[in-house]
């Protein structure tokens, strides 16, 4: 397999030399972001029609050490962990070990007899009432389980965040057990709310497979695809390539984040975040999705499974924000709705582990394409797949989101897409 991958990478590099001039807009955009101080270091790659047609990096991995980008940096990819974990669970669905409409208490009995908070704006002080139904596997994959993520401005979310990031919690099993003691924010199946549900996905993988999540993903996704630079812990060599995280200050200048991701000795193998990866490793994963579950002769999922992941679950929900209803853009495909929770932006729907753009005109993203599926990470990482144009793109940097909100988080993903499509049309 490694010999085959070497040949493929060699052919990529030859094709790159011929195609580099075709992406002048994207290249200028990346260099401008570095020059104007919105990024310290960035790596972008574009794959189309079975070739890597753009692969460039600019700036610094570590500004203070004057360590320039080399193209093999390790990024803490935050929520771009979620699609990988979803693929892991879908393999168990294919194997007949899990059904999408199974109640989760079949695998996680602690979620039997769950409660729903009376008023999310007040929190647990408002009391709770029994859930009308069990949470299903399909709901945790589509963020319609009634769970939340702890990162919206609503009062109950702050309680969730404080509970789940308790320093005494050392394993995924402990975190999920804690999550089971908290009321849901909404009744299962009634509303899209971006959530911690992928931690339940991850824990179910562990329970059903009998393996820790890191081992399961390595054996079933990373090793078969040759993703040797992806994992929850970095080795000594990889740690030296860890991309430093920078935060925006109130004056919109970047400064080195005080808290950097811990590269090793991590013990919570989460579904919602936690993975390190490189641009090229994540590109391989995304190419597999573009190719309906297979890459270089290795089959990870069946085509029908990938189709199911990119078929929307949320399009019939009546709780989605309406156009011009006063929502606040929070990230690609996400908005803070009138309630204060993280909901879907008009024009977008969610499948199983992936967001899907249904109508580019509603969010006024005319440069994006109907049918794109994608996701992003809180440190301003992005990827998207355009099946119609046989296109995959990955954008990697490290801009933190706490304590100050990244004012360009939404902008980066939009501009990245916009310049790629502009170059393809030229």
Buried/exposed code over 67-102 (b: 16+ C-beta within 10 A; e: otherwise): bebeebbbbbbbbbbbbbbbbbbbbbbeeeebebee
In 102-218, alpha helices (H): 137-142, 155-164, 172-180, 197-209, 213-217
In a domain, 80, yes or no: yes
In a domain, 132, yes or no: no
Give the pLDDT of residue 285.
Answer: 98
Is 72 a residue whose pLDDT tops 70?
A: yes
Cα distance between residue 253 and residue 250, in whole Å: 7
Q: What is the mean pLDDT of residues 90-96?
A: 98
In a domain, 133, yes or no: no
Query: 236-276: per-residue pLDDT in tens?
Result: 999 999 999 999 998 889 999 999 999 999 999 999 999 99
In a domain, 161, yes or no: no
Q: What is the mean pLDDT of residues 119-145?
A: 97
CA nearest neighbour of 117 among 176, 163, 161, 157 = 157
CA nearest neighbour of 57 among 395, 400, 426 = 395
In a domain, 280, yes or no: yes
Q: What is the mean pLDDT of residues 154-166?
A: 92
Query: 214-241: per-residue pLDDT in tens?
Result: 999 999 999 999 999 999 999 999 999 9
Domain housing 385: 2-86+211-425
Is 399 a residue whose pLDDT tops 70?
A: yes
Q: What is the mean pLDDT of residues 182-211?
A: 98
Cβ proximity of 349 and 356 under 8 Å: yes
Domains: count for the chain: 1
Confidence at 332, pLDDT banded by 50, 70, 90:
confident
In a domain, 30, yes or no: yes
In a domain, 307, yes or no: yes
Please give the share of the chain, as a percent, with pLDDT higher than 90: 85
Query: 301-318: per-residue pLDDT in tens?
Result: 999 999 999 999 999 898
Q: Which of 19-28, 42-51, 256-265, 369-378 has the lowest mean pLDDT?
A: 19-28
In a domain, 12, yes or no: yes
Q: What is the mean pLDDT of the chain?
A: 93
- Backbone conformation region of residue 265, classed left if phi is above 0, alpha if psi is from -120 to 50, else beta: left
Give the CATH number of the domain where residue 235 resides.
3.40.710.10
Is 9 a residue whose pLDDT tops 80?
A: no
Q: Which of 10-24, 81-95, 353-367 has the lowest mean pLDDT?
A: 10-24
Cα distance between residue 416 and residue 111, in whole Å: 40
């Amino acid at each position: 397999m490694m010999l085959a991958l070497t040949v493929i990478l060699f052919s990529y590099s030859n094709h790159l030399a011929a195609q580099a001039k075709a992406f002048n807009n994207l290249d200028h955009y990346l260099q401008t972001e570095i020059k104007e101080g919105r990024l310290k270091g960035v790596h972008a790659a574009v794959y189309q029609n079975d070739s890597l047609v753009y692969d460039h990096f600019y700036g610094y991995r570590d500004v203070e050490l004057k360590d320039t980008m080399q193209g093999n940096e390790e990024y803490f990819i935050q929520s771009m962990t979620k699609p990988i974990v979803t693929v892991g669970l879908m393999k168990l669905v294919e194997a007949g070990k899990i059904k999408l409409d199974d109640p989760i208490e079949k695998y996680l009995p602690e979620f039997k007899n769950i409660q729903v908070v009376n008023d999310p704006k007040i929190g647990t002080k408002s009391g709770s009432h029994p859930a009308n139904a069990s949470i299903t596997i399909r709901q945790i994959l589509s963020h319609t389980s009634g769970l939340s993520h702890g990162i919206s401005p609503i009062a109950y979310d702050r309680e969730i965040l404080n509970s789940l990031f308790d320093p005494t919690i050392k394993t995924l099993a402990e975190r999920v057990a804690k999550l089971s003691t908290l009321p849901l924010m909404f009744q299962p199946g009634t509303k899209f709310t971006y959530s911690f549900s992928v931690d339940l996905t991850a824990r179910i993988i562990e329970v059903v497979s009998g393996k820790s999540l890191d081992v399961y993903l390595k054996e079933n996704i990373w090793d078969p695809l040759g993703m040797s630079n992806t994992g929850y812990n970095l080795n000594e060599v990889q740690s030296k390539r860890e991309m430093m995280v920078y935060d925006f200050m109130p004056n919109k200048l970047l400064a080195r984040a005080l808290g950097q991701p811990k590269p090793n000795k991590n013990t919570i193998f989460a579904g919602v975040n936690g993975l390190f990866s490189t641009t090229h490793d994540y590109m391989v994963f995304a190419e597999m999705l573009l190719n309906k579950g297979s890459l270089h002769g290795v089959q990870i999922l069946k085509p029908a499974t990938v189709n199911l992941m990119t078929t929307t679950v949320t399009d019939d929900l009546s709780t989605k924000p309406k156009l011009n209803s006063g929502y606040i853009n929070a990230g690609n495909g996400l908005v803070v709705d009138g309630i204060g929770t993280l909901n879907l932006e008009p024009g977008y729907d969610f499948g199983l582990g992936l967001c899907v753009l249904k109508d580019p005109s509603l969010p006024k993203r005319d440069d994006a394409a109907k049918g794109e599926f994608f996701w992003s990470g809180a440190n301003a990482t992005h990827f998207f797949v355009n099946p119609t144009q046989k296109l995959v793109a990955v954008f990697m940097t490290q801009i933190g989101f706490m304590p100050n909100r990244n004012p360009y988080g939404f902008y980066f993903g939009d501009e990245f897409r916009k310049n790629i499509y502009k170059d393809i049309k030229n």
